[in-house]
Amino acid sequence: MSIERELNKRSGSKCELCGATENLKVYTVLPTQKGGIDESVMACGTCVDQIENPDNVDLNHWRCLNDSMWNENVAVQVVAWRMLSRLRAAGWSQELLDMMYLDEDTLAWAKATGEGEEAENKLVHRDSNGVILEHGDSVVLIKDLKVKGSSMVAKQGTAVRNIRLDHENAEYIEGKVDGQQIVIITQYVKKI
């Protein structure tokens, strides 16, 4: 059974965040470990757009989190926590966040993207041109790089897709080059 069908069955063909029934899609909650239904949410286009584009956020739309934050599915809880954290300047959002309980592992997953941290404490990964890098972006190498611990050389111009960010160091990202997972220094890449 496909993830989309399983999510439709789990959600009753509704957005698991706001309850909308139109324009539904599978939203993968990053960072993922195994992928699949446990790391995905059935969400409407409006919710996905506002999650991915913070400038488009309609504060009143997210009052729906009052209900969805209690969802039994962990991925829904993580998205609810992240959005409540993003909107915590609104009094009602902070109150909901104060009521919400996540176990240690779920809270670590929710915080993995840096949501909920103060802006000055948040790690920002930037490429060689100063462009902000996000989890899942694609980059291209701007110079030949020797890979430590192997005889491999990652050639200039090599595209690295679906990068992962190092959540402890803003200088490092991870990605696959020639089928091998490597750590890359951000000053040697350019976002595609």
Summarize the confidence of residues 17-43 as an average pLDDT: 93
- Nearest 5 degrees, angle CA 93-CA 97-CA 99? 120
Strand partners, 176: 181
Reply yes or no: is the peptide bond before residue 54 cis, omega within 30 of 0: no
d(CA 52, CA 21): 20
Which residue from 163, 116, 121, 158 is spatially nearest to 141, judged by alpha carbons?
Answer: 158
Q: Kind of pairing, strands 172-177 and 153-154?
A: unpaired
**pTM, entire model:** 0.65
65-93, pLDDT tens digit by residue?
A: 999 999 999 999 999 999 999 998 888 99
- Strand 164-165 and strand 180-185: the pairing is unpaired
At 17, phi and psi to the nearest 5? -100, -50
Q: Cite the beta strand spans of the chain per DSSP E.
A: 24-28, 40-44, 139-141, 145-146, 153-154, 159-160, 164-165, 172-177, 180-185, 189-191
Q: What are the extents of the domains in the chain?
A: 3-120, 138-191
pLDDT tens by residue, 140-174: 999 999 988 888 899 999 999 989 888 778 899 99
- Residue 191 — very low, low, confident or very high, per pLDDT cuts 50/70/90? very high
Residue 57 has pLDDT above 80, yes or no: yes
Of 2.40.50.100, 1.25.40.340, 2.30.30.40, 2.70.98.40, which CATH number belongs to 138-191? 2.30.30.40
**pLDDT tens digits, one per residue of 92-128:** 999 999 999 999 999 999 988 877 655 555 678 889 9
| Whole-angstrom distance, CA of residue 139 vs CA of residue 78 | 27
Residue 160 pLDDT = 93
Q: What is the mean pLDDT of residues 24-28?
A: 95
* Residues 158, 143 contacting (CB under 8 angstroms): no
